[in-house]
């Protein structure tokens, strides 16, 4: 039976203070620089430095409010860990070994974060997406990714520079794969063999976790393989995924 939270913990939750609620659970968010968090997570002083960016979604335009990286100091007053997902869209280094903009942004996070800050990074889709989303003249299409499961390029352009830059601040790398249609996915044993060859080539010096967004792949052999390989699984809630409780039951 779970013990009720002490009264002082309820007060912490009311003020969005999620740090140290449980010694074995870390609370954090995916991304952090939301203008809407001013007055909850961030102080009003940041409002004058908020940047407004126009965004389009499903043919509609809205305004995104983005705060500077320096707000990460206040973020860690409330949370234990932060997932940075901008690394999903671009590696840290070019194929020639030159730093990309993401490298410099990540370095800024490290510069402004407290000494005990912990981070999770999303691995670039360039190495874990079977197909890449493209857009040309308003038309969206998907094409085969020639760098899919290229472990050598992944290590050189992301894994090694991430570990070098963050050191002990890096607590995990998350591999998110896009939704795949059943007819476009190889048989599960072939699919797992492909993943296994990729992860065999990666040193487990940092915990690695996998997130799959294709319901037909969430079968017992997948979870057996994850356990054997020492990989974590990310149970995500998505419109076309089964309920998390059902996925947990599948994964035992």
Position 212 in a domain: yes
* Distance (Å, whole) CA 28 – CA 222: 27
pTM score of the predicted model? 0.88
Position 203 in a domain: yes
**pLDDT single digits (tens) 166-180:** 999 999 999 999 998
User: Which residues are 55's β-sheet partners?
Assistant: 62
Domain residues for the domain of 127 are: 71-251
What is the arithmetic mean of pLDDT over 143-151?
Answer: 96
Position 61 in a domain: no
The mean-pLDDT minimum among 54-63, 117-126, 227-236 falls in 54-63
The CATH number covering residue 221 comes to 3.20.20.410
Give residues with Cβ within 8 angstroms of 9, minimum separation 6: 21
pLDDT tier, 2 (very low <50, low <70, confident <90, very high otherwise): low
Given a cut of 80, whether residue 19 has pLDDT beyond it is no
Position 54 in a domain: no
pLDDT tier, 45 (very low <50, low <70, confident <90, very high otherwise): very high
Closest to 16 in 3D by CA, of 35, 43, 50: 43
Helix axes 220-229, 188-200, angle to 10 degrees: 10
Position 102 in a domain: yes
Give residues with Cβ within 8 angstroms of 191, minimum separation 6: 185, 217
Given a cut of 60, whether residue 75 has pLDDT beyond it is yes
Query: CA 110 → CA 5, 50, 167, 201, 251, distances in Å?
Result: 33, 20, 10, 28, 35
pLDDT tier, 1 (very low <50, low <70, confident <90, very high otherwise): very low
What is the arithmetic mean of pLDDT over 108-126?
Answer: 97
How many domains is the chain built from? 1
How much is the pLDDT for 5?
Answer: 65
């Amino acid at each position: 039976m779970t013990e009720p939270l002490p009264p002082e913990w309820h007060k912490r939750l009311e003020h969005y203070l999620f740090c140290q609620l449980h010694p074995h659970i870390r609370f954090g968010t995916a991304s952090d620089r939301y203008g809407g968090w001013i007055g909850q997570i961030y102080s009003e002083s940041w409002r004058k430095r908020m940047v407004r960016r126009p965004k389009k979604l499903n043919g509609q335009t809205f305004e995104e409010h983005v705060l500077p990286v320096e707000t990460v100091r206040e973020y860690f007053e409330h949370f234990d860990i932060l997932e940075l997902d901008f690394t999903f869209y671009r590696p840290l280094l070019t194929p020639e070994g030159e730093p990309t903009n993401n490298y410099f942004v990540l370095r800024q996070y490290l510069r402004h974060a407290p000494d005990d800050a912990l981070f999770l990074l999303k691995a670039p889709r360039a190495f874990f997406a079977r197909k890449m989303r493209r857009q040309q003249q308003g038309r969206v299409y998907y094409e085969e990714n020639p760098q899919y499961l290229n472990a050598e390029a992944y290590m050189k352009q992301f894994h090694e520079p991430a570990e070098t830059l963050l050191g002990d601040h890096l607590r995990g790398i998350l591999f998110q794969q896009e939704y795949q249609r059943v007819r476009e996915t190889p048989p599960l044993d072939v699919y797992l063999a492909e993943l296994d060859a990729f992860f065999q080539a990666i040193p487990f010096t940092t915990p690695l976790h996998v997130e799959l967004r294709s319901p037909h792949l969430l079968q017992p052999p997948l979870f057996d393989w994850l356990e054997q390989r020492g990989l974590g699984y990310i149970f995500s809630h998505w419109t076309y995924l089964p309920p998390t409780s059902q996925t947990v039951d599948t994964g035992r």
